[in-house]
């Protein structure tokens, strides 16, 4: 079992980071929280969750043990897979998610792609006590806002991230363009966060 990978950050998009360690490049699926935290860094350390299935072997990377813990709690809920858990952690911050669960806010949970009423209710019922017991609601460190590059670069990265998360490119591009028209200086991770709440 891999506990963490520490090495040079070769590539980073809002959905994936590639870390080179001892000549091997590890591709890790990441959330927007982790993407924000590793922005602009040369060397990073990401805690790992290995998802091993018959048809795929995927690595998920997290900037902190606490984010990984929250991810593992989410996938323990019936009907919530690894990609759905990552999407939840990308759509809202850890504190927002914990607040949503502790207050039983089903409506907010349902705004996330792939989360229907029954799944939202299951997440709230299954995790409410666990989150309080484990103190998961403590802040996960995230990086500050990054300076937005040329809009086309932000647009392409945001559309690419949404496509990797399972959305069709055409509607993703339309939503991203609408967001950038209203928020021309928004960094990629903010554009993707806003898009996740708007795409149906």
Least confident of 8-22, 70-84, 135-149, 161-175: 135-149
> What average pLDDT score do residues 118-138 get?
80
- Distance between CA atoms of 31 and 24, rounded to whole angstroms? 22
**pLDDT at residue 148 is higher than 60:** no
Is-above-0.85 flag for pTM?
Answer: no
Mean pLDDT computed over every residue of the chain? 85
Q: How many CA atoms lie within 13 A of 132 on its CB side?
A: 9
Tokens at residue 143, please?
Answer: 């990086």
Model confidence at 171, in pLDDT bands (50, 70, 90)?
A: confident
- Distance between CA atoms of 95 and 92, rounded to whole angstroms? 8
Q: How confident is the model at residue 47, as a pLDDT?
A: 96
**pLDDT at residue 102 is higher than 50:** yes
Model confidence at 71, in pLDDT bands (50, 70, 90)?
A: very high
Cα–Cα–Cα angle for 102, 104, 109, rounded to 5 degrees? 105
Q: How confident is the model at residue 118, as a pLDDT?
A: 92
């Amino acid at each position: 079992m891999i506990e963490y990978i520490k090495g040079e950050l070769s590539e980073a998009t809002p959905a994936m980071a590639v870390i080179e360690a001892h000549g091997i490049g590890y591709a890790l699926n990441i959330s927007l929280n982790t993407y924000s935290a590793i922005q602009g860094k040369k060397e990073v350390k990401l805690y790992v969750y290995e998802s091993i299935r018959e048809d795929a072997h995927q690595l998920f990377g997290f900037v902190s043990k606490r984010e990984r813990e929250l991810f593992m709690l989410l996938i323990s809920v019936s009907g919530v897979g690894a990609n759905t858990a990552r999407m939840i952690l990308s759509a809202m911050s850890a504190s927002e998610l914990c607040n949503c669960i502790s207050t039983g806010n089903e409506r907010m949970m349902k705004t996330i792609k792939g989360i229907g009423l029954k799944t939202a209710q299951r997440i709230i019922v299954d995790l409410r006590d666990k989150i309080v017991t484990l103190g998961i609601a403590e802040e996960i460190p995230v990086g500050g806002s990054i300076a937005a590059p040329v809009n086309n670069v932000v647009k392409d990265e945001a559309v690419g991230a949404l496509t990797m998360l399972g959305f069709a490119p055409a509607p993703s591009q339309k939503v991203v363009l609408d967001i950038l028209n209203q928020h021309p200086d928004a960094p990629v991770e903010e554009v993707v966060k806003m898009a996740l709440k708007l795409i149906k």
